[in-house]
Structure 1
């Protein structure tokens, strides 16, 4: 038997593998799991909404509060000059004061506060500024007036309220003039103050206690009226005759219907943006859908914030 050797054998051994057919595996396309895709998109949208809500509370809300205060201060100055600022629970036409209307200017030098007070204490009102509880007299009048402010979000006007020392003085300007108060101190809900005598006035400042954005109670700081009390018009609202949303640490669910439409619009825009992302130019998709989605998402976050406690 002849043995192959030499260059010929080496040539054959080198070329032999090149002559073998190459096998290729055919990839079988698996049907897409639409349930997993839908869940993935839903979780992505929820994550984006939570991120937008966080951005709204920490970055956008202070700007909204500053803008609202600037507008309200101009409106209050004009009404003070005209003498049309409400001095009771009703306006000059005899109707209840519209919630969100400016009624006073609160100045607390010890805390660096100069804030327009609005009528009403629901979340929508305390987003704009310190709110006056509607079933209590206006500051400067006989009786116990109540002002509520936020501790963290939307400017956090009362975030340092616990630092207000007893004996400190501050003023509240209304349509009747400037009322001066002296701080008595902080107290809990279980502490009862003496009943006021005829003609005496007291002001209670309220905000959330606990960590920032984690309220666990209500902080109350009382101050007695040291200036002469202004006349008090006849009351229309009886004590306690306010909506539950105007109580301390309550949210307001009244925008729920509008919020549902905004959420539906946001979902439709997200679906349209996803479709365009897969079938259109990605740069064009960003340009067209990016600003619209951002605006609608911020509107949704703003309405969701009204569900949060009004003193947070």
Structure 2
């Protein structure tokens, strides 16, 4: 007899263990609205912080760039004896200003005192005499943004010298009197210079004025200067920039929306890199027009 053969029990192959990933919780409509709102708030906060950065850093670079270009232009005009001595176009260089006591050297003074004019440097009020001419010459300057050329104006003391160069020559003024928005300068001297800036390095509420008398005889004042407009006054905002700001803002919004839509169909990194210069230029234009709505002496 042969021994019975014990058959091994047949076992089915065990299925490989697969870890089930936990199901992602569904995004509720309330959560989706919260995330969208947080994204919008973050974007607005970034734009506001960017505007602050523009005012206190990039605006200075912008002003220095214009000053460098305007200085070369004006020195060439002086050399060819064609520098303006009467009325000039807004933003054109009309004088050079030196105030050693506050570290101001060969600063270009432009024609006009609107917010946009003062983005380029100190501005000559269009209805007054040019420095060195008979009469009162008035020059505005910013105290915090766009180079802040008059940030240290209140540190001037009686006896400090101010030198101005125009197409008619070089002139020296001596500081002799102070004033402000509530107490305007009163000086019987006919030929003098008045420098004006804001009373604060934050949003100014009034003005600081420095008066100086011309040393020696003045040159001829051709007169016939245009009258001022509302935007020329101290602490005035350029309300005309509001419409332009709205247009640039719409352009920026359109560029951002366009980039997001294109990123759905093409490689996102390529889309963002291609449109970054466009968006950057639009943001700059928005910031510049928004700055024009601030007080012109800021």
Question: Under TM normalisation by the shorter chain, which class is it?
Answer: 0.7 to 0.9
1:77-96 → structure 2 map (5 Å cutoff): 77-89=75-87
* Residue aligned with 1:251, SS: coil
Count of aligned pairs between the two proteins: 276
> What is aligned with 1:136?
128
Whether 1:182 and 2:174 are equivalent positions in the alignment is: yes
Per-residue deviation, 1:28: 6.5
CA 1:165 to 1:104, structure 2 compared with 1: closer, same or farther past 3 Å?
A: same
> What is aligned with 1:65?
63
Per-residue deviation, 1:305: 0.6
Per-residue deviation, 1:38: 6.0
> What is aligned with 1:230?
219
- TM-score (normalizing by structure 1): 0.81
Per-residue deviation, 1:170: 1.8
CA 1:236 to 1:160, structure 2 compared with 1: closer, same or farther past 3 Å?
A: closer
1:168-179 → structure 2 map (5 Å cutoff): 168-179=160-171
CA 1:30 to 1:193, structure 2 compared with 1: closer, same or farther past 3 Å?
A: closer
> What is aligned with 2:48?
50
Unaligned runs of 5+ in 1: 1-21, 90-96
8 Å Cα contact 2:114/2:238 also seen in 1: yes
1:1-312 → structure 2 map (5 Å cutoff): 30=28, 39-89=37-87, 97-114=88-105, 115-189=107-181, 190-196=183-189, 200-210=190-200, 212-237=201-226, 241-277=227-263, 280-312=266-298
CA 1:192 to 1:260, structure 2 compared with 1: closer, same or farther past 3 Å?
A: closer
Tell me the alpha carbon deviations over residues 26-45 of structure 1, each in whole angstroms, 9 at most, x when there is no partner: 97674578866664454343
What is the root-mean-square deviation of aligned Cα atoms in Å? Answer: 2.4
* Residue aligned with 1:171, SS: strand
